[in-house]
Structure 1
Amino acid sequence: MAQLSTEVYWHSTEPTEVGPPLDGDASCDVCIVGAGYTGLWAAHFLKQAEPGMSVRVVEAKFAGEGASGMNAGFVQMTAGKVLRRMLWYYGAEKAGGVYRAVARSILEIGRFCRQNGIDAQYENTGILQVATDTKQLARLELQIKRAQRAGVTSFRLLDREQAQERIGSPTVLGALKVSGALLNPYRLVRGLARVVQEQGVLLHEQTPAQTIEKVDGKWRITTPHGTITANEVIVATEAMQGAFPELYARQMPVWNYLLVTEPLTDEQLGRVPWPGREGVANSLSFSTAARLTADNRVLWAGGLWYMFGNRDTDPRHRRNDDAFDKLGASFREFFPQWRDVRFSHGNGGLISWSHSFIPQFGRTDSGMVYGHGYTGSGIAASHTGGKILRDLVLRRKTEFTELAFVTVNQPKFLPAPFGDKGGEFFIWRQRVGDRLPLLLPYKSALAPNRFFARRTGSPERATAGRSSD
């Protein structure tokens, strides 16, 4: 795909005026490292709670330059395969608490955009989690059971005919309609940066944090342009957390990729039924996801994770022709009607993978506050995380500091090279697992018509209500 532009598509939808760097030494109550969703939501909620608090944010390049400005724009709860781990690590009560908190964030993000005049192209469409083989149908069956264990019992289940009416791929055998929304991720993060500055937060772009250390009870954040002394520090650099020794083993950076097509013509759009314009994701371990943009491009994202040794985060990996070729092939398999559609943009971004696949928030032994580990589903969870970080900084016990994101054991990765080999083995195992045949006799796979029939009966043949994934 030599013709692909590696410019991030979303960056072309919003003019970027990069702010000035830090100008000499400074001090503040709270210094936040990283101007993505996590850091900016934390700044927003801190200023709401304590308007007189002095807050500074330092960012290596510009707000939204990293994962917050280049993801697929799915505002959703954690993926279905993560629910198994949530129940395993947390138990039903804790897992349900996380789901309810993040579900509120999905709606609150839309409200925040409306109240603050942010045109983030927010659409509360819901998400279709589809199955394209019998093994994925079995995963949908398990997901429904797990959601019920977590106390989330309302969903909308679609059989093959219903699902293909919602997303016209001939490969789709069924779907689960779950709650979620779509937005332009870059417009959201840039709008959020504007709002926090209006609240009085000082944002220093072009200011990378080189070291963070505690001296005489104060935090010192050194940058090329000066040193910030702060009472509290929040480190919110997601997959770049490994640059700071205390956080190195708490998450693993991995690469994932997306493609964006040229704008579709009306004739091309008409080939594939997609009346609700929902986000769509299959049920593979390394799932692929599709959505329409505001200008009717198709964004196709996901697939295999990539590691390049020694936890490499070099931006040169944003172009990966092997990943682009694999994504292009899976796109044409899912949408054979669009074999003539050309891709205009392709780029890769870093995912912060936590060992438990669940976001992590807390304090290190030295008192550094952190938040990371969204493992590919960070837009909604980072909003919840901003409230967690606020309450951790203010040292108050609330419903947010009692969420499992904070209170449950947070396993770490082994040091390199052992941790890297473990990560590579996991990727290989999941890739092979997606190719293996179904090993257990799930009803949904052996008798899919009966599986769907026993959950229907209304005139719409589906149960609608509060969705869950």
Structure 2
Amino acid sequence: MTAPSYWLHTLGPITPRPPLDGDRNADVAIAGGGYTGLWTAYYLSQVAPDLKIVVLEAEFCGFGASGRNGGWASGLFPVSEEKLTKRYGAARATAMHHALAGAVDEVGRAAAAEGIDCDYAKGGTITLARTPAQLRRARRAEGFIGAAAAGAICGATGVLGGVFSPDCAALHPAKLVRGLAGAVENRKIKIYERTRVRRIARGLAETDRGTVRAGTVVRALEGYTARLAGHRRSLAPVYSLMIATEPLPESDWERIGLRRRETFSDERHMIIYGQRTADDRLAFGGRGAPYHFGSRIEPGYDRVPTVFDNLRATLTEMFGIRPAIAYRWGGPLGVPRDWMPSVGLADGLAWAGGYVGDGVAAANLAGRTLADLIIGTPSDLTTLPWVGHRSRRWEPEPIRWLGINAARHATTLRDALERPRAS
């Protein structure tokens, strides 16, 4: 099977586990074998080892965003703390921030405990300001640092300042998700791959291989949620694309820095993200690919040559290098209408997701939260602002297609207008 990302390619050939072979009964059925589904199974097995848990995955564990993302386990949340404070109060907003920061450490702790070598390096993250407009935004943020300090971390061109946060670790996402799947199996949890969940309802998960009846059914499909019956408008599958360079020489790294494998981005509106990999590549990604009518997801959408070219050009502009690109890939992530991720349980149906691309650590927090909700254990996690939140559904087509792509073009235009003009 062809690996859909650099990360998965480094693991070598992947042989999917056997599919479901008929109807089954379980206590908990989890739709989705990515981070959210696997962390949920992992923590449930700790607090309730007698539960019969099954994980249902359409392809193989890590096929989706969990095996394709930028490798940031970060404390980032798509909704600002200011907005959370206005809606939920300062105490709950602060609790959300602290819980996500703690999840960064928990990912590293759990990986080490399970013997998962996922190249985890908690160096923090730097968001650079490289235009006057970006600098104005950066100055308003907590963690602002000046040009010298920012440039010492990440030696990009034209650095005017930046925002540094210690709450981020770079890692190899595919090593993490595949190792986590193995850890889940070691806990006697059954994982059925090549088993696509078509529909969920109270007490059942219908797949193309049979039906699993369970007291609790968990929806953990993230960018692939739109393929589930009745959920086409729940989360929009928005594509993010990445490239990975050939390993760079030490002379380049002396200028670029990232000595502690800090992750990096800048203050532009169209999101970009990068890391120095453990084998000294730049793995770099960004948004900008089109949203496809009807929330369609196709393998061909993973590759948009113009976006790959723009990513390479951005690396050249940022670091003054013309790197050889060894890998190009992409995939869909899940975006709720209000950009607010959520976790919840109602009438035997549980869900988590809508991370808007910041899901590596958030999925760990979601898995622990779902475990408490399913067992019925009140905790600090079950009172966080995202618990029980329900985003309104996306508009029907063609309004959805027009709105998302118009916003994409407007974001690109805003960045263009902020670039300094040559005198």
When the two structures are superposed, what TM-score results if normalisation uses the length of structure 2?
0.92
Deviation at 1:227, TM superposition (A): 1.9
Pairing 1:266–2:250 present: yes
Gaps in structure 2 of 5+ consecutive residues: none
Deviation at 1:301, TM superposition (A): 0.9
CA distance 1:6–1:330, shift in 2 (3 Å): farther
Which residue of structure 2 aligns with residue 191 of structure 1? 179
Which residue of structure 1 aligns with residue 152 of structure 2? 165
Which residue of structure 2 aligns with residue 243 of structure 1? 227
Give the whole-Å Cα distance in 1 for the aligned partners of 2:205 and 2:389: 29
Q: 1:361 aligns with which of 343, 354, 367?
A: 343
Give the whole-Å Cα distance in 1 for the aligned partners of 2:27 and 2:135: 51
Pairing 1:426–2:407 present: yes
Q: 2:93 aligns with which of 95, 100, 120?
A: 95
Gaps in structure 1 of 5+ consecutive residues: 145-154, 439-469
CA distance 1:248–1:92, shift in 2 (3 Å): farther
CA distance 1:80–1:397, shift in 2 (3 Å): closer
Deviation at 1:434, TM superposition (A): 2.8
Pairing 1:12–2:9 present: yes
CA distance 1:162–1:261, shift in 2 (3 Å): same
Give the whole-Å Cα distance in 1 for the aligned partners of 2:299 and 2:356: 19
5 Å matches for 1:30-429? 30-78=28-76, 82-144=80-142, 155=143, 157-178=144-165, 179-214=167-202, 219-336=203-320, 338-339=321-322, 341-363=323-345, 367-408=348-389, 410-429=391-410
Give the whole-Å Cα distance in 2 for the aligned partners of 1:71 and 1:421: 26
Deviation at 1:80, TM superposition (A): 7.6
Work out whether residues 85 and 356 of structure 1, in 8 Å CA contact, stay in contact via their aligned partners in 2. no
> Match of 1:404, SS?
coil
Work out whether residues 264 and 297 of structure 1, in 8 Å CA contact, stay in contact via their aligned partners in 2. yes
> Match of 2:330, SS?
strand
Q: Which amino acid in structure 2 is aligned with residue 172 of structure 1?
A: V
> Match of 1:113, SS?
helix
Q: Which moved more, 1:368-377 or 1:268-277?
A: 268-277
CA distance 1:295–1:99, shift in 2 (3 Å): same
Q: Which moved more, 1:417-426 or 1:133-142?
A: 417-426
> Match of 1:22, SS?
coil
CA distance 1:213–1:296, shift in 2 (3 Å): same
Q: Give the superposed CA RMSD.
A: 2.1
- Rg bigger for which structure? 1
> Match of 1:248, SS?
coil
> Match of 2:177, SS?
helix
Give the whole-Å Cα distance in 2 for the aligned partners of 1:355 and 1:141: 29
Deviation at 1:294, TM superposition (A): 1.1
Give the whole-Å Cα distance in 1 for the aligned partners of 2:131 and 2:235: 32
Give the whole-Å Cα distance in 2 for the aligned partners of 1:92 and 1:423: 31
When the two structures are superposed, what TM-score results if normalisation uses the length of structure 1?
0.84
Work out whether residues 82 and 357 of structure 1, in 8 Å CA contact, stay in contact via their aligned partners in 2. no
Q: Which moved more, 1:293-302 or 1:407-416?
A: 407-416
CA distance 1:55–1:80, shift in 2 (3 Å): closer
Q: Which moved more, 1:239-248 or 1:120-129?
A: 239-248
Work out whether residues 20 and 209 of structure 2, in 8 Å CA contact, stay in contact via their aligned partners in 1. yes
Q: Which moved more, 1:85-94 or 1:51-60?
A: 85-94
Number of residues paired by the alignment?
Answer: 416
CA distance 1:66–1:242, shift in 2 (3 Å): same
CA distance 1:314–1:408, shift in 2 (3 Å): same
Deviation at 1:31, TM superposition (A): 0.3
